Structure 1
Amino acid sequence: MTALAFIVFCVAVLLAGRGLASGAMGEVMRVRFGGDAQRTRVVVDLDRTSRGEVIQPGADGRVVLALSGVAPHRSLSGTGIGLVRGYRVAGAGGASRVELDLAVSAEIERRFLLPPGDGVQHYRYVIDLKATGRAPTAPRPTPRNAPRRTERPLIYIDAGHGGRDPGAQGAHARESDVTLAAALMLKQELERSGRYRVRLTRDSDVYVGLNRRPTIARQAGADLFISLHADAIADPATRGASVYTLSEQGAG
């Protein structure tokens, strides 16, 4: 199979409406971690109480929760420890979307809210993760001297979220709808050039598992995988785009 390049193309759009920018929103202050590769505790520090809802429990390599009534002043992201490879927190409508990328297969053991007390002046939303003992499937290595193909390169476009996972939510749009519309338009433009074959991981509002998306592209022998996302943020003046690529040399 030809080498599969991963590009995560994050299209920053203003999904934040009046509810998201409202001064009544509380703040997500920071995210902290503790534990090891068997059990990891995630603590989200808040300046007011919040109610959590699980969107994705971890079966597809990612845990996603929504915390109502709170949002970070700007999107938070970073690396985790133990079971968590990395995290992102962004405003999503009248809530925050907390995404935890898992290093190995894990599930939520319990979650709860701690009020201020014992010298701590803020609320803490706690998520305890437990390893399930199954490591994620590693991508198969690609031979360096693979024969050159004569057909046009195959591009797979992945419209982020969908179905039961709407992604970020603004006053007038859902991330899953925005990414699908963008994917359909990009497919049309690429096919119009006549230089590429183009396919989609989804062409309607359906849920596709996180690990399933690149697997679909690999099995089809794709040359390029493009994942589209549309972030939300509380500040309506923020706009622009960001592009992430996976280095073939690894982290350096």
Structure 2
Amino acid sequence: MKKVALGLSLVSGLSMSVFANTAGPAWDKAPGNISDKTSLQNGAKTFVAYCLNCHGAEYVRYNRLQDLGFTLDQIKSELVLTDAKVGDTMKSVISMKEGKAWFGNNPPDLSVIARSRAGANGTGADYLYTYLRGFYRDSASQTGWNNLVFPNVGMPHVLWELQGDRKAVFEEVEEHGQKTHVFKGFEQVTPGTLTTEQYDQTVGDLVNYLQWMGEPVQSTRKTLGIWVLIFLAGLTVVTWRLNKSFWKDIK
């Protein structure tokens, strides 16, 4: 129930963050590697525990996670937390009707969230990595939380127990005759269950999984593309030699 409650709070933020603009701080580079199956497995477990309560991933079936190295037994025991079958798509725990009643909008599907957030500041993975590490306490907000990447976000910090409580330090400066607040850094108030490095790694694994989920065959596509280019290069050489041989006696 604790994880369900944390997952429910995710809806407000991610559903609104889809519409956030690219203004604001520069995005940090996400450390993901879609060839790292250990990272992808950790990210899948975090996704199921904290995201799938409210958000679906209905373009991906549970048994597709075998591509990440999970066995069917592992998927059943560790990743399917409802009465769903391993051949079912990854539907959220709450229904669309419940989501709309509780939050005013249907929680968005996260199947392609990493692909949809690409912008001038970086990739969609960069945005999500920076966003999920940009929360801080703000007593003036309705939820008690705010976010550097998405100011006045409606999402509470769903992973706060992992990261701990912290506040943002701003300095008031005057620019062109107008006063503005410049971000100076975070100040840790209470520690989380993870160190800063461990939390960043957990978020990186989650974002890596979200990126993989947007196109599970991307590694195969890239590998196939390389072989196609090699084939075309070889075909070009053969064609050129054949053409030269065909025309050598014709003046």
- Same-fold status (TM-score > 0.5): no
TM (norm. structure 1) is 0.24
Bigger relative CO (Cα 8 Å, ≥ 6 apart): 1
TM (norm. structure 2) is 0.24
- Structure label with greater radius of gyration: 2
User: Which structure dedicates a bigger proportion of its chain to strand?
Assistant: 1
User: Which structure dedicates a bigger proportion of its chain to helix?
Assistant: 2
